Structure 1
Amino acid sequence: MAISLTKGQKTNLTKENPNLKKIIASLGWDDESIDFDLDISAFLLNAEEKVTQDVDFIFYNNMESETKAVIHTGSSRTEEGHNETIMVDFSKIPSDIEKIPIIVTIHEAGERQQNFGQISTAFIRIINEDDNEEILRYDLAEDFSIETAIIIAELYKSSGEWKFRAVGSGFRDGLNALCRNFGVNV
């Protein structure tokens, strides 16, 4: 049975699931009142919380990391609504990578005058790629009135184990601000 997390909660992914090698981080949303295009992205960060190179920023224009540890699989539509996924292979993550924040942004938020205050059903699920079982889910229930980018979650390494933290931290200046913060040249 999947764990349901709230903002700030953590869980140890690889200790609780010792055979866990690959996960799918699946962003989902369903809000038919306005046409939203949410995008998922990830940054591979070192101990200083910076990318070591620009290709460590995985998004729709750079679909995979150099080692193929993190792969953006694009977007789709399912019975449950919209869906974007990133696959993570823990065995291929370079040893100097300590954290992988998972980001959600609204595509063309400024042009469309959209923000996360208009979306009521965004969530992220972590799925075991081997058996397609949902391990955990975090429903983004915070009230974001002006934010156009959110760090929804973080995968992070601690004592050799990979853990998950439900973050839910919003940013007004979108993805460009996060890129600069994490050391990506934009």
Structure 2
Amino acid sequence: MPTEIIKKGKGVKLSAEDNQILSKVKVGLGWEVRKGGQLDLDASVFMLGEDGKLPSDEYFVFYNNLTSPDGMVKHKGDNRTGDAEGDDEEILINLPYISPVVKELRFIVSIYDAKARRHNFGQLEEAYIRVVNLSNSQEILHYDLDADFSDDTEVEFARLVREATGWKFLPTERGTKIGLQGYVDKFIPEL
């Protein structure tokens, strides 16, 4: 299966065959900071139910909650500098066994403490998100985050939506300045 560069507005449907092949995937986030700078990016996954909300707080997987309640989404830990070779942060996903209450995964990249530190995506040289098939280590999707978000502090970069025949990746490329807490507030069920 060749690498496919996904672009805004173009979904990539994982067919039934692909879903069998792609039972386990890795989402990798990498970034470089402009010379002399330091910036902490964080990858997060909101596992949403039919109503577009978290079934419970534990379905928000990020640096302070590394594993979903079903154990099928695992964050491998926080990288605070982006200095690592290859992917700086990784999230492992076991697609076939994700709880049936989860209908969608939303992937967010945020800048830690951006408002207080006056950080934004304009301070990045390059950033990317990619999806790797763990059965053969082949990169199957690669999405370049670019300088279009120079004033933003978060980017919702993709959705993974459950369909009757499997999953579909949808790039969203939506920059915001609401902070990670803004997304938490958006996806927490109203009391």
TM-score where L is the length of structure 2: 0.89
Preserved CA contact (<8 Å) 1:70 1:86:
yes
Q: Which moved more, 1:152-161 or 1:13-22?
A: 13-22
Equivalent AA in structure 1 for residue 16 of structure 2:
K
- Structure 2 equivalent of residue 72 of structure 1: 75
Q: 1:16 deviation in Å? A: 5.6
Matches within 5 A, 1:77-88: 77-80=83-86, 83-88=88-93
- For residues 8 and 109 of structure 1, the distance between their equivalents in structure 2, rounded to whole angstroms, comes to 27
1:78/1:118 Cα in 2 relative to 1: closer, same or farther (>3 Å)? Answer: closer
CA distance in 1, matches of 2:25, 2:17: 14
Quick one: structure 1 residues 26 and 184, their matched pair in 2 at CA, closer, same or farther if it must change by over 3 Å?
A: farther
The equivalent of 2:11 in structure 1 is 10
Residues 57 and 184 in structure 1, CA contact (< 8 A), matched pair in contact too? no
Question: SS of 1:44's equivalent?
Answer: strand
Picking from 56, 64, 68, the partner of 1:53 is 56
Query: 1:55-105: CA deviations, max 9, x gaps?
Result: 01000000000111100002454434x611111101221112110001100
Aligned 8 A contact 1:54 1:184 in 2:
no
In structure 1, list runs of 5 or more residues that go unmatched: none
Backbone CA RMSD of aligned residues: 1.8
Displacement, 1:170? 1.1
Amino acid at match of 2:121: F
SS at match of 2:48: coil
CA distance in 2, matches of 1:161, 1:71: 20
* Alpha-carbon spacing, 1:14–1:24, altered in 2? closer, same or farther (3 Å): farther
Does 160-169 or 56-65 show the bigger shift?
Answer: 160-169
Say if 1:155 and 1:163, in contact at 8 Å, map to a contact too: yes
Instruction: Look up the SS of the partner of 1:170 in the other structure.
Output: strand
Note the alpha carbon deviations across 1:26-61, whole angstroms, 9 max, x for none: 011112422111000001101111001000100000
How many residues are paired up? 184
Structure 2: gaps spanning 5 or more residues: none
Q: Aligned partners of 1:5, 1:78: CA distance in 2, in Å?
A: 24
Distance 1:124 1:173, change over 3 A: same
- The separation in 1 between residues aligned to 2:90 and 2:70, in whole angstroms, is 18
CA distance in 2, matches of 1:125, 1:13: 15
C-alpha displacement of 1:176: 0.6
What is the rounded CA distance, in whole Å, between the counterparts of 1:184 and 1:114 in structure 2? 30
1:107 CA drift (Å): 1.0
Give the letter for the 1:87 counterpart: L
Shift of 1:152: 1.0
Match of 2:129 in 1: 124
2:131 partner amino acid: I
